[in-house]
Amino acid sequence: MDSHYDEFGNYIGPELSDDSDSDGGADANDQQDDPWNDRPQGDADNGTAGMDVDGDDAEENFETAIVLAEDKKYYPTAEEVYGPGTETLIMDEDAQPLEEPIIAPVKKKQIEADRGKNALELKVSEEYLRGLMGNANLVRNVAVAGHLHHGKTTLFDMLVEQTHHVDDAIVHADDRALRYTDTRLDEQDREVSIKAVPMSLVMPNGAGKHLLFNMMDTPGHVNFSDEVTASYRLSDGVMLVVDAVEGVMCGTERLIKHAAKERLPICVFVNKVDRLILELKLPPADAYHKIRHTLEEINAIIEATYGGDENAPFADPVKGSVCFGSAKFGWSFTLNSFARLYADIRGVDMDTQAFAHRLWGDMYFNEETRTFRRKPPPGGGDRSFVQFILEPLYKIYSQAVGEHQASFARVLAELGVTLKPKEYKMNTKPLIKLACTKIFGDASGLVDMLCAHVPTARGGASAKVENAYAGPLAGADERSCVNTMRACDANGPLQVMVAKLYPKDDCSSFDALARVMSGTLKKGQNVRVLGEAYSPDDEEDCAVKQVTNLWVYQARYRIPVEEVAAGAWVLVEGIDGSISKTATLVAEYGEEDAYVFRPLAFDNQSVVKIATEPLNPSDLPKMVEGLRKINKSYPLAVTKVEESGEHTIMGTGEIFLDSIMKDLRELYSEVEVKVADPVVTFCETVVETSSLKCFAETPNKKNKITMIAEPLDKGLAADIENGTVSLKWPKKKLGDFFQNKYDWDILAARSVWAFGPDEKGPNALLDDTLPGEIDKSLLNAVKESIVQGFQWGTREGPLCDEPIRNVKFKILDAIVADQPLHRGGGQVIPTARRVAYSSFLMASPRLMEPVFACEIQTPADCMSAIYTVLSKRRGHVIADNPKPGTPVYTVKALIPAIESFGFETDLRYHTQGQAFGQSYFDHWAVVPGDPLDRGIVLRPLEPSPVQALAREFMVKTRRRKGMSEDVSVQKFFDDTLLAELAKADAGIEGIM
C-alpha cells in the first residue's frame, strides 16, 4: 500500500471505484439516508449523535471536513446568552458618539463634606418637623448674618448640638470645630463660608413649647454679600452676630443698612463674650462698658439708617432684642432667661420679668436695703449686670482655667451642677464648655428673643409681598393671589419664590431653594417657571416643569417631603432648566395674570473682570456650559462674551473670582482653563456741557435729531439706582421731586423721558423742546425709538464700549417725517444712538473707575507700613481710630479697584501678618487725565504718570476688546456736522 503514495503523502495509485469510497460497509443508499450528509460540515453543536460511524471515523470526518466561512460560528447566539424569550435588537451603526459611554457611569463629585454620610439624627422625629412646617404660625424664617469670623457658623454648631444627636467626642473636642454648615470642602480648607446654607431646627422656647426655625447661615466676607441678599429675600428677620471684642465692623454696618432696605427686623447676638475674659483679660466692669459701647455703635447706625423712626429695631437688652453668649463654649442667655436661671438656682419665687429689667444699665443693687437704685450705694458698687452676670461668669472661667478641682467643684455646686471626677480631667476648653452647657442649658433665651422680635411666617408675609412682589398689591378678589400671599394661605393659588440654586452631586443640574408664599407645592406637580424677564405682556421667559422631588435642606442631609405649605422653605428638584438667578413658580393653569417677584437688589457690584479660555480649544463648549452653571450658582457673577470672542467673568473681588475659577475647573466644566490678568470695568462720563449742539440725520435724510450732553446732578445717579425716584410715578410727583431736591425748572422736571441703560440706570434723557417750535405729536410718535437708541448708546459708550454714567442728554430739536414709513425704528434708533455719542464726545468725555473702600485691623506699630502700601497704590487713608478696649486700630481707606489686586497679600507681607483688611466697592471716581489726548505716549513696561492713566486705560481696554486704538469720529459724526464743527472751530483735534 505504501507504493500508492508519494513521499509527500499524495495518492498516486490506481483510480478507485465509486463503491469503494467507504470502508464501513455502508452502501450509497445508506450514505444518502445518513443525517450527517444533510447537516453542514463542522457544525460543532450537532455533535456525533445519530452518526452510524464509530468514534475514530467521526474524528477523522471532523478533521477533514471543509467548512465555509459563512457557516463558521464565532460567538454564541443571543438566545444562548440571554435565554429564550428575550427580545434583542441588532444595530448596524453606532447611535452614540465614541466619547459618550453606552451606559454612563454614576458621577458624584466630592464638592461637599459628608453629604449623606454621618448625617446627624434629629432629637425630634422627621414627622414632627413636617407637622410644624404645615402651621405657618409656628414657623420663623431667620437669616443669621454678621461680619467675617464673628461666629455665625459656630453659633449654628451650638444649635445643631442642641437639636441633634451628636457624638460626645465631637462636642467636647478641644480645638476641632464642627463647622456643620460649611458643607463645601474649600470652605473647610479656607475656614471661610462661601455659600449660604439653610437648616430647619426645632427648638423649645422658655415655656417649653417647640417651634420651627428656618435659619440661614450666611457668609461674612463682603465679597459674598450676594449670598446674604438671597438669604434676606427668603427671611422675615435678621439675627445679627457681633464679636464682643471687634464690635461693629464694615460688614456689620452694611448688613444693618441692607436689612433696613429689605424692611427686616433685627435682633443682636453678642458673641465671643469669653474673649473679654480669656484674651483681653478685662475686669468685669470694663467688660460691661465694652459690651455697652458695642450696642451703642449698633444703635447709632440703626438710627442713622432709619432716620429717627420710632419703630426702628434698636438693640435693647431690656426689651429682649439682645442675646449674649459664646457659641464656642455652648452658652447663651438674654436678661429674661438669666433671671429665670437665677430664680431656679436660688429656688425663690420672684417676678423674673421685673428682675430682668433691672439687670442692664445704670442699676445698682443695695445689699443693705435689698433694693435696686439708679445711683450706686454709699461706698460704691458695681452695676447689676456686672454683679449678677459677669462676676459669676468670670468666676466659672477663672476656676476652670486655674485647674483647682476642689474649688471648681464648690463653685459648680453653688450653681446646682455636678461633674464626674473624670470630667474634671478634661482639657480646659472642653471643661469650660461642659460646665457652661450644664449651667445655662439650652438656647431657650435665644429662641425667646427670636419669637419676640421676628414675626412668624404668616405675620411677615405681608411685608415680604410689599417689598418683593412686582405685581399689583391691591387684589380685587379676596381669593386673589396677592391677598392669599399676604395671609400666607396654604389653600390659595400657588406662588413660590425661588431665591437660590444649589448644585447636585454630579453638578449636571441644580436644586432650587424656595419659599412657598401661597398655596401648597406638591411632589410630581407641574408648575410654570417664570423667569426674571417675565411679564403678562411678554410671556417668553416661561417654561412648564415637573417638580420631581421636594426636600427640607439640612446642610449635610435632606429630609424628603411630599408637599410643602405656605410659609415654609423647600428645596425643589426638576425646575432649574430655565432659571438663571431667581424665579417664580405658579400653577400650570392659573386663573389670573401671573406676576414675578423682583430680582435680587444687591448692595455690592461686580466690577472685577477676568477673561478665560480653555487650554485645549476643543474644550470650548464644555467651558461655555460651565460658565452657564457658574452664572446660576453665584448670584452676583456676570458672564459675558465680548465682541472679540473672549469669555469674561465679572465678580466682586479676588476671593470671589478665585472661588468661581475653582468651581469652573473642578466641578462645572472639568477642563483646564487659562485666565488672563484681572482688570476692572470702567464707566464713561462727561465733565462739561457739549461745546455746541450736535445733530444727526437718519439714512433717508427725512429725520434729524439735535442733542447736547451735560453732567448729571450730584447724587441723582444714586437716587435712581436705589429706587428713590422712579419713572413709574405720576408726572406731578416726579416733577415735584426734581424741583424740590435738585432745583430743576418745571419744564425739565416734567420732561424726563427715560433713564438709561435701564429703568434704574444712572443717566437721564430729557425732552427740552418747546411745543411752539416743533410738532410734539410727531416727536412723541418716535419717542420709543429715540429712547431705545439712547439706552443702547448708554449701555456701550463710544470711548471703549463701557457703560455711560452720570450724563444728562437733552433733546433740543427734532425734525420728524410726516409719513410713518419714513420714521421707523430702523431709521431713528441708530440715529438717536449716534447723536448721543456725538454730543457725549463734545462734552469733555472722561473715564470713571471703581473705587474700593478698605477696612484694616492692625496693631499701632504697623500703621506706618499701611500708609506706605496704600500710597504706592494711589490709595489714601480717610480715618484711623483705636478700637475701644483693645490694642487694635481700625484704618479706613480708599483704593482704586484696579490697584487692589494683591493688596491684602502685600499688606500682610509688610506687617508680618498682623494686619488684616477687607475691600468692597464704594463708588465711581473720574480717572485723572484726558482719554482722547493723543499727545500722550504710552511706553510698554513702564508705569504711566497719573495724568496719562485715562489714556492708558482706554487704549488697553480697546485693544483687549479687539477695537482700534482711537475713537473713530467718522462713525459718530455726520459729514454736515463735521463741516459745521470745522467752521465753528470747536476744537475737535483730540478726537480727530
Cell (9 digits) for 540 = 417668553
Task: Please report the pLDDT score of residue 762 as a whole number.
Answer: 95
Task: Please report the pLDDT score of residue 40 as a whole number.
Answer: 44
Task: Please report the pLDDT score of residue 45 as a whole number.
Answer: 45
| Lowest-pLDDT choice from 13-27, 89-103, 515-529 | 13-27
Let me know: does 31 contact 37? Beta carbons within 8 Å. yes
- Model confidence at 21, pLDDT cuts 50, 70, 90, reads very low
> For 334, which DSSP code?
-
Let me know: does 782 contact 703? Beta carbons within 8 Å. yes
Query: Cα(145)–Cα(255) distance, rounded to whole angstroms?
Result: 7
Give me the DSSP letters along 398-461. HHHHHT-HHHHHHHHHHTT----GGGGGS-HHHHHHHHHHHHH-SSHHHHHHHHHHS--TTTTH
Query: Cα(60)–Cα(928) distance, rounded to whole angstroms?
Result: 103
Cell (9 digits) for 245 = 471684642
**Residue among 848, 849, 802, 832 nearest 709 (CA):** 832
- Is it the case that residue 529 has pLDDT exceeding 90? yes
Task: Please report the pLDDT score of residue 441 as a whole number.
Answer: 92
CA neighbours closer than 13 Å in the CB half-sphere of residue 258: 27
Residue 103: Cβ within 10 Å count: 4
- Is it the case that residue 13 has pLDDT exceeding 90? no
H or E element in which residue 336 lies: helix 335-346
Task: Please report the pLDDT score of residue 83 as a whole number.
Answer: 83
Beta-sheet strands, E only, within 358-409: 364-366, 371-373
- Is it the case that residue 503 has pLDDT exceeding 90? yes
Q: What is the mean pLDDT of residues 451-465?
A: 96
Task: Please report the pLDDT score of residue 113 as a whole number.
Answer: 62
DSSP bridge pairs for 587: 527
Please give the share of the chain, as a percent, with pLDDT higher than 70.
92
The single-letter code of the amino acid at 349 is D
Query: Cα(868)–Cα(865) distance, rounded to whole angstroms?
Result: 5
**Residue among 501, 500, 507, 627 nearest 110 (CA):** 507
| Lowest-pLDDT choice from 348-352, 659-663, 799-803, 889-893 | 348-352
Query: Cα(325)–Cα(221) distance, rounded to whole angstroms?
Result: 22
Let me know: does 183 contact 219? Beta carbons within 8 Å. no
Let me know: does 696 contact 816? Beta carbons within 8 Å. no
Q: What is the mean pLDDT of residues 966-971?
A: 82
Give tens-digit pLDDT for 665-701.
999 999 999 999 999 999 999 999 998 899 999 999 8
H or E element in which residue 655 lies: helix 654-663
Query: Cα(182)–Cα(623) distance, rounded to whole angstroms?
Result: 27
Cell (9 digits) for 352 = 423674673
**Residue among 719, 754, 759, 722 nearest 737 (CA):** 719
Cell (9 digits) for 992 = 480727530
The single-letter code of the amino acid at 438 is K
Query: Cα(929)–Cα(925) distance, rounded to whole angstroms?
Result: 12
- Is it the case that residue 120 has pLDDT exceeding 50? yes
> For 2, which DSSP code?
G
Cell (9 digits) for 28 = 450509497
> For residues 102 and 210, which has the higher predicted lDDT (pLDDT)?
210
Distances (CA, A) of 405 to 169, 213, 277: 22, 39, 20
Let me know: does 575 contact 528? Beta carbons within 8 Å. no
CA neighbours closer than 13 Å in the CB half-sphere of residue 105: 4
Query: Cα(955)–Cα(964) distance, rounded to whole angstroms?
Result: 8
- Model confidence at 117, pLDDT cuts 50, 70, 90, reads low
| Lowest-pLDDT choice from 170-179, 359-368, 401-410 | 170-179
Please give the share of the chain, as a percent, with pLDDT higher than 90.
69
Query: Cα(110)–Cα(458) distance, rounded to whole angstroms?
Result: 38
Report the mean per-residue pLDDT for the chain. Answer: 89
Task: Please report the pLDDT score of residue 72 as a whole number.
Answer: 77
- Is it the case that residue 76 has pLDDT exceeding 90? no
The single-letter code of the amino acid at 851 is V
Q: What is the mean pLDDT of residues 344-359?
A: 90
Q: Express the helix, strand and coil content of the chain in percent, nearest 5 each.
A: 35, 20, 40
Task: Please report the pLDDT score of residue 90 as a whole number.
Answer: 78
Task: Please report the pLDDT score of residue 589 as a whole number.
Answer: 87
Domains of the chain in sequence order: 19-98 (no CATH), 121-453 (3.40.50.300), 467-587 (2.40.30.10), 608-675 (3.30.70.870), 684-844 (3.30.230.10), 848-976 (3.30.70.240)
Task: Please report the pLDDT score of residue 33 as a whole number.
Answer: 45
- Model confidence at 886, pLDDT cuts 50, 70, 90, reads very high
Give tens-digit pLDDT for 716-774.
999 999 889 999 899 899 999 999 999 998 888 889 999 999 999 999 999 999 888 88
Three-state secondary-structure class, residue 758: coil
Q: Which backbone phi and psi does 688 adopt, to 5 degrees?
A: -140, 175
The single-letter code of the amino acid at 934 is R
Let me know: does 546 contact 526? Beta carbons within 8 Å. yes
Cell 416733577 found at: 735
**Residue among 259, 119, 265 nearest 199 (CA):** 119
Let me know: does 627 contact 647? Beta carbons within 8 Å. yes
> For residues 27 and 524, which has the higher predicted lDDT (pLDDT)?
524
Task: Please report the pLDDT score of residue 9 as a whole number.
Answer: 72
- Is it the case that residue 20 has pLDDT exceeding 50? no
Three-state secondary-structure class, residue 306: helix
- Model confidence at 22, pLDDT cuts 50, 70, 90, reads very low
Sheet harboring 752-756: ordered strands across?
694-697, 704-711, 807-815, 763-767, 752-756
Let me know: does 473 contact 466? Beta carbons within 8 Å. yes
Residues 6+ apart with CB under 8 A from 24: 52, 53, 57
Distances (CA, A) of 853 to 538, 608, 875: 40, 14, 10
- Is it the case that residue 48 has pLDDT exceeding 50? no
Task: Please report the pLDDT score of residue 52 as a whole number.
Answer: 46
H or E element in which residue 815 lies: strand 807-815
Residues 6+ apart with CB under 8 A from 536: 593, 594, 595
Task: Please report the pLDDT score of residue 114 as a whole number.
Answer: 56
Cell (9 digits) for 531 = 423667569
pTM of the predicted model, to two decimals? 0.87
- Is it the case that residue 406 has pLDDT exceeding 70? yes
Task: Please report the pLDDT score of residue 988 as a whole number.
Answer: 52
DSSP bridge pairs for 627: none
Query: Cα(26)–Cα(423) distance, rounded to whole angstroms?
Result: 102
Query: Cα(575)–Cα(509) distance, rounded to whole angstroms?
Result: 10
Task: Please report the pLDDT score of residue 38 as a whole number.
Answer: 45
Give tens-digit pLDDT for 199-222.
999 999 999 999 999 999 999 999
The single-letter code of the amino acid at 472 is P
832-853: burial string, b at 16+ Cβ within 10 Å, e else: bbbbbbbbbbbbbbbbbbbbbb
Cell (9 digits) for 315 = 438693640
Task: Please report the pLDDT score of residue 515 as a whole number.
Answer: 98
Query: Cα(220)–Cα(150) distance, rounded to whole angstroms?
Result: 8
Query: Cα(441)–Cα(434) distance, rounded to whole angstroms?
Result: 10
Let me know: does 858 contact 914? Beta carbons within 8 Å. yes
Give tens-digit pLDDT for 611-669.
999 999 999 999 999 999 999 999 999 999 988 888 999 999 999 999 999 999 999 99
Residue 93: Cβ within 10 Å count: 4
- Is it the case that residue 57 has pLDDT exceeding 70? no
> For residues 478 and 967, which has the higher predicted lDDT (pLDDT)?
967
